[in-house]
């Protein structure tokens, strides 16, 4: 039984309880708290945000799930790795909250870092039929597809799945945002014994996995996994009620990370007993962002020796202005 939710302190308590349950993947236990908050504060933005999160986390995808050990390391050479970025020119940032960024300039710098830390890896761009790139972008290959720019995150997922369809079975790849810097040779990460590696972070109950970096160590099983995510995303984005809750078509933003978490299973991930899951015949590793996909924050002092141990540095959102200086320091062997 909930306390009187007309009391602001009780509303705060209810919101905290809701977040605890959502972080545990228990939308069922969060539901009465969300309903009480909505009743007490029907127009409050937080109430609607919690309700939207509850609805997403309640979704389930049938699969056989169980704990897995990463087991024996597999041999992958740097020359077998594709670093695959996605970029399409858009008139405005699709999130609605990020500044206009020179993404091609960012990608050129990111590929410079990749050429330094993983010189034998192939650098690939997935894009549309019209986006132009400068000659010095640093890609070995630019692959063009017909896309709908209104649904940019869905199209990224679709193109990533399409890329994996044609990836030779003896190759591995890193599906990465344009603002991801290869900070350390990715071979060691990809050899760890998983098929798919997802980077995760706390504090985002409905989006625990960052879709801006996905490691595919086994092309065949990675292909099956991404096809499954794309299928889930297709069904998710067809839900009109969810679109109304989020105020945005999930094909344009957010939906890719929701689909990743639904396929893994929110509750299964929250209650995991190891850092890897057997998802049917795909072994998925859960790699902490702090080690594999680190986001640097402005004004923070970082130990350089510790930074050298991070596999990828992600200059998300409006942090992209920091990327150029970081790559310059890498080139000067200061990092």
- Local structure of 1: helix, strand or coil: coil
Least confident of 77-86, 99-108, 133-142, 326-335: 99-108
Which is more confidently placed, 34 or 247? Answer: 34
- Quick: pLDDT tens for 175-193: 999 999 999 999 999 999 9
Query: Between β-strands 282-288 and 276-279, what pairing exists: parallel, antiparallel or unpaired?
Result: antiparallel
Least Cα distance to 107 among 89, 129, 81, 80 occurs for: 89
List of residues 6+ apart from 277 with CB closer than 8 A: 65, 66, 67, 68, 264, 268, 269, 283, 284, 286
- Quick: pLDDT tens for 230-253: 999 999 999 988 888 988 899 999
| Residue-range domain boundaries for the chain | 8-58, 67-331
Least confident of 10-14, 30-34, 162-166: 10-14
What fold is seen in the domain 67-331?
Spore Coat Polysaccharide Biosynthesis Protein SpsA; Chain A (3.90.550)
Answer whether 335's CB lies under 8 Å from 308's CB.
Answer: yes
């Amino acid at each position: 039984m909930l306390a009187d939710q007309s009391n602001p302190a009780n509303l705060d308590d209810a919101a905290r309880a809701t977040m605890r349950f959502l972080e545990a993947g228990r939308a069922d236990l969060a539901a009465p708290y969300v309903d009480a908050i909505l009743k007490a504060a029907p127009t409050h933005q937080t109430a609607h945000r919690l309700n939207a999160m509850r609805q997403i986390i309640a979704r389930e995808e049938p699969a056989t799930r169980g704990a897995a050990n990463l087991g024996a390391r597999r041999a992958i050479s740097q020359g077998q790795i594709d670093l695959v970025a996605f970029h399409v020119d858009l008139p405005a940032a699709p999130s609605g909250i990020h500044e206009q960024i020179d993404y091609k300039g960012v990608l050129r710098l990111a590929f410079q870092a990749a050429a330094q830390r993983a010189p034998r890896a192939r650098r690939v761009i997935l894009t549309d039929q019209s986006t132009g790139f400068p000659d010095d972008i640093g890609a070995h290959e630019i692959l063009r597809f017909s896309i709908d720019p209104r649904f940019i995150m869905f199209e990224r997922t679709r193109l990533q799945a399409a890329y994996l369809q044609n990836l030779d079975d003896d190759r591995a790849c890193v599906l990465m945002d344009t603002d991801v810097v290869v900070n350390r040779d990715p071979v060691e990460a990809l050899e760890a014994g998983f098929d798919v590696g997802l980077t995760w972070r706390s504090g985002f109950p409905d989006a625990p996995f960052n879709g801006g970096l996905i490691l595919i160590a086994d092309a065949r099983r990675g292909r099956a996994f991404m096809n499954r995510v794309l299928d889930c995303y297709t069904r998710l984005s067809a839900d009109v009620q969810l679109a109304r809750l989020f105020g945005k078509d999930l094909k344009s933003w957010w939906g890719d990370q929701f689909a990743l978490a639904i396929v893994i299973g929110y509750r299964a991930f929250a209650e995991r007993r190891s850092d890897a899951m057997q998802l049917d015949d795909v072994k998925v590793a859960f790699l902490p962002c702090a080690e594999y996909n680190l986001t640097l924050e402005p004004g923070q002092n970082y130990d350089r020796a510790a930074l050298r141990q991070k596999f990828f540095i992600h200059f998300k959102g409006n942090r992209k202005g920091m990327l150029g200086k970081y790559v310059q320091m890498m080139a000067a062997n200061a990092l």
